[in-house]
Amino acid sequence: MTDPTIFGKIIRREIPADIVYEDEHLIAFRDIAPQAPVHVLFVPKLHVATLNDLQADRAEVVGRLAHAAAAYAKREGFAENGYRIVMNCNGDGGQTVFQIHLHLLAGAQLGRFGTPR
């Protein structure tokens, strides 16, 4: 299924983004509202609305996102200092774009997470 979200538009080059990596499986671009000095989104080209919709036989889709994020961290030189990867799911998780994506956050000591609002 074609990705109907804003991330699909970025993949199809219908809207601009600051793309930092792309391969046949995924794209990575800077978050428009960064929550850390480095905030990059890793998005698969296969459309999967939420993590709940990921079929077992497509689990490698998420593995590729994590591997690409780690490779980016190594290339950019902050892998040893560290980073955080986050995937939000549905309302309580704070998901706002319904195409699965992995947030890579880095560049500073990050605060704790998971506190109810």
Q: Contact between 65 and ligand AMP (CB under 6 A)?
A: no
Tokens of 6: 């804003």
Cα distances (angstroms) measured from residue 49 to each of 58, 78, 79: 13, 30, 29
Q: Contact between 95 and ligand AMP (CB under 6 A)?
A: yes
Active-site annotation holds for 47: no
Smallest distance, ligand AMP to C-beta of residue 59, A: 20
Q: What angle do CA 56, 57, 61 make, to 5 degrees?
A: 90
Out of 96, 111, 114, 117, the residue judged to bind ligand AMP by CB under 6 A: 96
Interface map 41-60 toward ligand AMP (x if CB under 6 A): x-------------------
Give residue 93's identity as a one-letter amino acid code: G
